[in-house]
Structure 1
Amino acid sequence: MRTIRDEAGQVVVEAAIVLPLCLFVLLALLQLVLLQEARLLLEYAAYRAARTGALWNGEVDRMAGSARFVLGPTVCPSRFPGIPCPPADLPALRAAAGAEALRLLSAGGGFPGLSVEVVGAVGEGDFDAVGGGGLLTVELRYWLELKIPFADAGLWRAWRAVGARRLPPGVRVAVEAAAAGGRYFVPLVSRHTMRMQSNFHRQEEP
């Protein structure tokens, strides 16, 4: 009888150790799946932004609008206060709300939100020739909010140990301040190059 009770107690102790670990691994895998989904959407957003820029002479506002429309579904739900997120059974409204929230978050530039930058614009080429027009290279930096409980903090700390040191000091302080408030963000970056419909003309500053 004592042996049976001892074995039962041992099973309870082992379960108390293993089950939380298994739960954390499951949550971490779910967060990694969402991270990969956002990375794929960001690559498509970079393509859409470059395509818009190719048609509109590299206008950053238009390119950012195209990118936000693609990334809108990744914004909701959010821990940021004041961001309305419609129910999940209304995907179109949810995506539109996410795009608008991303526009508001990006208003300050840098962090959080989405930044769009023209990192290369080659204006050489004859538009009348086949394949004429310059090349436009667009870079998107998207601060993805990690949303899965327990896994968000663990993955953020793993990224912080490796990638946070390369951030500008001001952005790093803002990222760590958000994490102190329970909102964890990691940066995703994607580039896309596309031939423009005409040669690139840099807009003059007013």
Structure 2
Amino acid sequence: MRDRRESGQVAVETAIVLPLFVFLILGTLQLGLMHQARLMTKYAAYKAVRAGALHNADVKKMERAALAVLLPMVSRGSNGTENMMTVGSASDFQQKWMWPEVLTNKITGTAIPYTKVTICGPLSGDLGGASGEVDFDNPEKITSSGDWKDSQRSKLRIQLTFNYRMVIPFADVVIYNIARAKELPFVLRLGKEDDPSQKAFLEKDMNAYDAAAGQKVYVVPIRATYTMRMQSNLYLGKNKLPESNTCLFSFQNQ
């Protein structure tokens, strides 16, 4: 007959191991979906910059083009439930494309868009004070400096952010807290505590994500960049270019 102490030991070991085992399974599923989302985001960045190259660097058109690619990874939910409808046919695509959340490009109950396009270049200052319509096929009208940057002035460079809403219960909150280093002191986040610029970079634009997490909606940003030569003119009055590069790169501080 098994000793009562041994039974108690088994119960304790089970209580310790079972949550880790459950997280291992659920976490593997969630990380697999996130990896798929990362691969699709790279392709979506290409489709976004292509739409921008053809449609006068229109950010809204680029975001819609990216969202069409990423539609299979888009999910919605309420009261702790998640729905990631599969897209296996044209009718499935049309049905999901008409979701109110997709039409407005906004994750339910948050201020976070599913897709966000940031123009990294050209910047307004790169065009030598040009205004109105800028001929993409005549860089001499844009600048006359003759330096190596001239070749970049007619190229559209964008960064696509896909805000992926995690759908696996338990794994979502754990992975989110790991990604945000919630339980770690700043010095363990590969940063220096006395470097305010790096801390500002790590914390930049994360308030909306933390607010969503407070509503049990766990979202992580997945980013990809792409460059393509413009194939349509820039209309600076309608589609204004940014004054500075606000794209986020892990190898530089902003």
Report the AA paired with residue 189 of structure 1.
R
Given the superposition, is the C-alpha separation of residues 92 and 149 from structure 1 closer, same or farther in structure 2, using an over 3 Å criterion? farther
Question: 2:209 is aligned with what amino acid?
Answer: V
| Bigger Cα displacement from structure 2, 32-41 vs 15-24 | 15-24
Q: Which amino acid aligns with 1:105?
A: N
Is the 1:72–1:96 contact (alpha carbons within 8 Å) kept by the matching residues of 2?
no
Query: By how many angstroms is 1:181 displaced?
Result: 1.3
Taking a change above 3 Å as real, the CA distance of residues 89 and 66 of structure 1, as seen in their structure-2 partners, is closer
Alignment RMSD: 3.5
Pairs aligned (count)? 193
Q: Percent sequence identity over matched residues?
A: 35
- CA shift, 1:72, in A, is 0.8
Deviations along 1:118-170, one digit per CA (max 9) or x if unpaired, are 2213777659xxx9x921112111211111111100111112226995223xx
Q: Could you say if the C-alpha distance between residues 86 and 143 of structure 1 is closer, same or farther in structure 2, counting changes exceeding 3 Å?
A: closer
- Does the CA contact (< 8 Å) of 1:85 and 1:94 recur in 2? no
Query: Could you tell me which residue of structure 2 aligns to residue 79 of structure 1?
Result: 77
Partner amino acid for 1:120?
G
Structure 1 residues 20 and 86: alpha-carbon distance in aligned structure 2, compared to 1, 3 A threshold:
closer
Change (3 A) 1:188 1:2: closer
SS in 2 for 1:147: coil
Structure 1 residue ranges without an equivalent (≥5): none
State the alpha-carbon separation in 2 of the partners of residues 138 and 64 from structure 1.
11
> Normalising to structure 2: TM-score of the pair?
0.63
More helix by share: 1
Letter aligned with residue 204 of structure 1: G
CA distance in 2: counterparts of 1:160 and 1:85, whole angstroms: 24
Q: Is 2:201 aligned against 1:202?
A: no
Aligned 8 A contact 2:136 2:234 in 1: no
1:89 CA drift (Å): 7.6
Could you list the runs of 5+ residues in structure 2 that have no partner in the other structure? 127-134, 140-150, 182-188, 190-198, 240-254
1:46-65 mapped onto 2 (5 Å cutoff):
46-65=45-64
CA deviation string 1:85-108 (max 9, x = no partner): 68548554444454443341349x
| Larger relative contact order (Cα-Cα within 8 Å, sequence gap ≥ 6) | 2
Matches within 5 A, 1:176-195: 176-195=210-229
Greater mean alpha carbon deviation, residues 30-39 or residues 155-164: 155-164
Q: Which amino acid aligns with 1:195?
A: R
Distance, in Å, in 2 between the alignment partners of 1:89 and 1:102 is 14
CA distance in 1, matches of 2:64, 2:177: 31
